Structure 1
Amino acid sequence: MADIFIEVDEALKQEKLEKIWHRYGGFFIGFLSVIILGTAANAGYTSWEMSKNAAQTDLLFAVTTKADYTADDLLTLSPDLQAGLRSITGIEAAGLYLENGENEKALQTYKTLEADQNTDPAIAQLASYMISSISKDLSAEDKIAKLDIIISNQENPWRYNAMLDSAVLHANAVQNFARARQHLSAILISDAAPKTLKQKAQSLDILYALKEKI
């Protein structure tokens, strides 16, 4: 009987991980795996730290394997977690707020992640990107300036997404189709840009090329 409960528990965990996968892609699954496994290979990593990390991971799964867990549930748990898991719960909570149409709560959560010096750098960078994407109180110029910071960082995993957003802003808000197509071209020639992003860039480039001639 115990084996059945274990199998159900693992299935529920897998379902939640798949949900995170669809929202953020493989990047966060890999990141979460690192957080859960810790740095056990490091000789200086103590058994107490491993035990604490495992206990906090259990807390996180206890919440996320509930059928109806909410963003508020995650944020209530978050202060008791170490920085890595706190980053994961924060970004997941923000995503849940967005799914439920609670953009202001999502925005505040992203701002908290961005401002927290202990947030994992990649998640802080995603939070910064999302702020530029969903903020209603930023002008097009301010959004472009914020996206330029992301784009200028060669190590930022969201820089190609920022390029696409900046291209759309340059085309639609500023009517600068030449600059928009520069960003699209950078996406199209990059080996690192995701295929789906390239497909969007190619479609937009065709459209903006036509508009540029008008």
Structure 2
Amino acid sequence: MSELFNEVDEEVRREQLKKLWDKYSIVFIALMVLVVAAVGGWRGYQYLEARKAAEAGAAFEKAVELSEQDKHADAEAAFAALITKAPSGYRNLARLRMAAEVATRDQPAAAKLYDEIAADRSVGGPEQDLARIRAAQLAMETTTYPNMLQRLEATATAKDSTFRHSARELLALSAWRANDATAARQWLDQIANDGETPPSLRSRAEALQALLPPVAKS
């Protein structure tokens, strides 16, 4: 008798499943098609992005080779082309390298390009700091210490900035050129007291420190 009931229950379940399938099969099939299409689309997107990155990497290396061969005009054009079509990582690198190429013929124009990179919030923090350093290096000979301070103070005082050491050195040099021994000493002290200051930069800072007038005794 129990076997008969089991068979009846099984038949009822099959009948219920058939009704559900007849009612919702189109919806189920549509969902499966959407899932397959989404997965395929994502895989296709990943493939295209990887291909773009590979092509941009090859183009970037070619542009670097042109620069190393002193074909600066050709390198500048190659980096400019990358800026218009490369993925964001290579685009930012190309902007930095293009500014460096421009610096070989027009330093003020190159400084302006670096300033634009430094002000662009879509660029990563380290690249922005590097652009600030490069712009300040180009402007050093023609600008004032207050201007250099405006450019570099945030980088020089940020404890986690990769380029804080270079920023401090540039500020110390600018202050020294402006005969502001107090400001120069301030930045040189920060260089000396930072345990992560590179040895070569520390040596240059010590040499500059020796050029400063002695601190007046009270």
Q: TM-score range by the shorter chain?
A: 0.5 to 0.7
Shift, 1:116, TM fit: 2.6
1:58-109: CA deviations, max 9, x gaps? 22223333442422331232111111111111111222222x2420221122
CA distance in 2, matches of 1:72, 1:107: 18
Out of 181, 193, 198, the residue aligned to residue 194 of structure 1 is 198
The RMSD of aligned alpha carbons is 2.5
Report what 2:11 is aligned to: none
Report what 2:85 is aligned to: 80
Report what 1:206 is aligned to: 210
1:144-201: CA deviations, max 9, x gaps? 232212112222211111111111222221x331331121122123221111111110
TM-score by length of 2: 0.67
Report what 1:51 is aligned to: 51
Bigger share in helix: 2
Question: Which has more radius of gyration?
Answer: 2
Shift, 1:138, TM fit: 4.4
Gaps of 5+ in 2: 1-44
Of 77-86 and 104-113, the range deviating more from structure 2: 104-113
Report what 1:171 is aligned to: 176
Report what 2:100 is aligned to: 95
8 Å CA contact 1:167–1:184 kept in 2: the answer is: yes
Gaps of 5+ in 1: 1-44
Shift, 1:208, TM fit: 0.8
8 Å CA contact 2:52–2:86 kept in 1: the answer is: no
User: What amino acid sits opposite 1:154 in the alignment?
Assistant: K
Report what 1:111 is aligned to: 115
Does 1:64 find its partner at 2:64? yes
TM-score by length of 1: 0.68
8 Å CA contact 1:122–1:157 kept in 2: the answer is: yes
CA distance in 1, matches of 2:142, 2:180: 22
Shift, 1:202, TM fit: 0.5
| Count of residues paired in the alignment | 167
Quick one: higher RCO (CA 8 Å, sep 6+), 1 or 2? 1
Out of 162, 170, 187, the residue aligned to residue 157 of structure 1 is 162
Out of 144, 148, 151, the residue aligned to residue 146 of structure 1 is 151
Deviating above 6 A after TM superposition, structure 1's stretches of 4 or more consecutive aligned residues are none
Of 135-144 and 197-206, the range deviating more from structure 2: 135-144
